[in-house]
Amino acid sequence: MTTRMALALLCIVPAAMAYPWRSMGDRWLLAVAVVVVCVLFAWWRGAFITGRLRRRLGMWRRRGRSTGVHHSSLFTTVLLKLDGPDQVPVGLIAGYLDRYGVRCDKIRITSRDLDGARTRWIGLTLGAVDNLTALRARSPRIPLHDTAEVVGRRLAAHLREVGWDAVLVDAADGPVRPGAKEKWHGLRDEAGYLAAYRAANLEDVRAVPTAEVWTAVEISGSATDLHTTTVCAIRTPDKPVGIAGLTPLNGRHRPALDALSPMSTQRIDALIGT
């Protein structure tokens, strides 16, 4: 919105200064300002038209290109598989955002409900730049993944102390199936549609009757300034429809669902905030 306001002002201010628009050039300046403002702030089906066009362009550019879980040499993710009570100790887990001198770029709690069975993971993502001091203190070769595994093992031990079964795992399946095609309303595959949503709370997600649902609570920031993002993915046999309490990520389903993979280093809030 700030960018839209700035662009609009770039057109409005010169047009206002040309008042009372006596010359043809002044009138053209006014006309351009009116058109630009109308285009920038035009709203259709719950989104700005320019935003919808940008997402359509993004979908077109992704066609025929390699997609999948995002990895980076500057970030690494370690994964814990979690079994135990229904209530996940979010406060305890969030405490590992900045602990033992190591800072996490994000911590994500991911759940998959498939045919009545629930699987949970905790992903801890570390960035090299945020942890240069800690990494150099451990080794001159900057062992980013080794450091992340140490933090993961400490969190697993802490969780076991409070009654959870937590173990490090090397991999986990993501929500996107091979051959899935990106559409405006979701990804289409042989089993139907899989759509990503931003959620205000998990209760809205759990109320949806479906055989497969993924939820992710992503925690970032610091202990004194936590930022939480909740997203979900819901599978339906037919094209998705509106669901109360959930905001569909139309035009962004492919990157959002790729980022929802438990092993992804990509922050979801960076994808859905645009």
Which residue, among 40, 49, 44, has the nearest Cα to 12 in the 3D structure?
Answer: 40
In a domain, 111, yes or no: no
In a domain, 175, yes or no: no
Q: Is 70 exposed, middle or buried (0-12, 13-18, 19+ CB in 10 A)?
A: middle
pLDDT tens digit sequence for 80-112: 999 988 789 999 999 999 988 889 999 999 999
Yes or no: say if 174 and 112 are a contact pair by the CB < 8 Å rule. Answer: no
Residues 147 and 215 in one domain: no
Residue-level pLDDT at 79: 97
In a domain, 231, yes or no: yes
pLDDT at 264 over 90: yes
Its pTM surpasses 0.85: no
Phi and psi at 112, nearest 5°, equal -125, 120
Kindly state the tokens that stand for 46: 């719950």
Higher pLDDT, 32 or 134: 32
Residues 144 and 214 in one domain: no
Residues 194 and 157 in one domain: no
Number of domains in the chain: 3
Residues 185 and 260 in one domain: yes
In a domain, 152, yes or no: yes
In a domain, 118, yes or no: no
Query: What integer is the mean pLDDT of 27-44?
Result: 70
Distances (CA, A) of 59 to 55, 84, 250: 6, 39, 10
pLDDT at 274 over 90: no
Higher pLDDT, 59 or 129: 129
Residue type at 28 in one-letter notation: W
Residue-level pLDDT at 222: 82
In a domain, 154, yes or no: yes
Query: What integer is the mean pLDDT of 134-145?
Result: 70
Residues 205 and 268 in one domain: yes
Higher pLDDT, 272 or 56: 272
Average pLDDT, the chain: 83
**Domain span including residue 249:** 181-272
> For residues 154 and 127, what is the distance between their CA atoms, to the nearest angstrom?
18
Residues 201 and 237 in one domain: yes
Cα angle, residue 221 at apex, residues 216 and 226 outer, rounded to 5°:
75
Instruction: Out of 21-25, 84-88, 112-116, give the one with best mean pLDDT.
Output: 112-116
pLDDT at 257 over 60: yes
Residue-level pLDDT at 210: 84
pLDDT at 244 over 90: no
What's 103-154 look like in SS3? EEEEEEEEEEEECCEEEEEEEEEEECHHHHHHHHHHCCCCCHHHHHHHHHHH
Query: What integer is the mean pLDDT of 245-264?
Result: 90
pLDDT tens digit sequence for 231-240: 999 999 988 8
Which residue, among 262, 273, 274, has the nearest Cα to 106 in the 3D structure?
Answer: 262
Q: Which stretch of 46-55, 114-123, 199-208, 249-258 has the lowest confidence by average pLDDT? A: 46-55
Q: Is 159 exposed, middle or buried (0-12, 13-18, 19+ CB in 10 A)?
A: buried
Radius of gyration of the chain (CA): 23
